[in-house]
Amino acid sequence: MGPLLGLAKAFCGPALARSGTLTRLQTWVRPLPTRLYHLDGCNQDVLAIAQCLSKEGSNVVVMTGAGVSTPSGIPDFRTPGSGIYDNLKQYRLPYPEAIFDISYFRQSPDAFNTWAKEFFPGLRYHPNLAHFFIKLLHDKGKLVRLYTQNIDGLEVLTGLPHEQVVHAHGSFNSASCAACGQDADLDEYKQSILLNQNPRCACSEKAPIKPDIVFFGENLPDRFQMFQEDTAFSDFLICMGTSLEVYPFAGIADAVPRKVPRLLINRTLVGSFGSREEDCLLLGDLVEQVIQLCRALGWEQDLFDLKNAYDKEKQAGQ
Q: Enumerate the active-site residues.
A: 169
CA distance 150 to 63: 10
Write out the H or E segment, with its range, that includes residue 213. strand 209-213
36, 127, 249 from 174: Cα distances, Å: 42, 18, 21
The phi and psi torsions of 148 (rounded to 5 degrees) equal -130, 145
Contact 289, 282 (CB under 8 A): yes
CA distance 72 to 135: 16
Contact 280, 52 (CB under 8 A): yes
The alpha-carbon radius of gyration of the chain (Å, integer) is 20
Contact 129, 287 (CB under 8 A): yes
Contact 249, 168 (CB under 8 A): yes
Q: Reply yes or no: is the peptide bond before residue 75 cis, omega within 30 of 0.
A: no
Contact 227, 147 (CB under 8 A): yes
SS3 of residue 115 by DSSP? helix
Q: How far is CA 263 from the centre of its chain?
A: 17
CA distance 38 to 316: 48
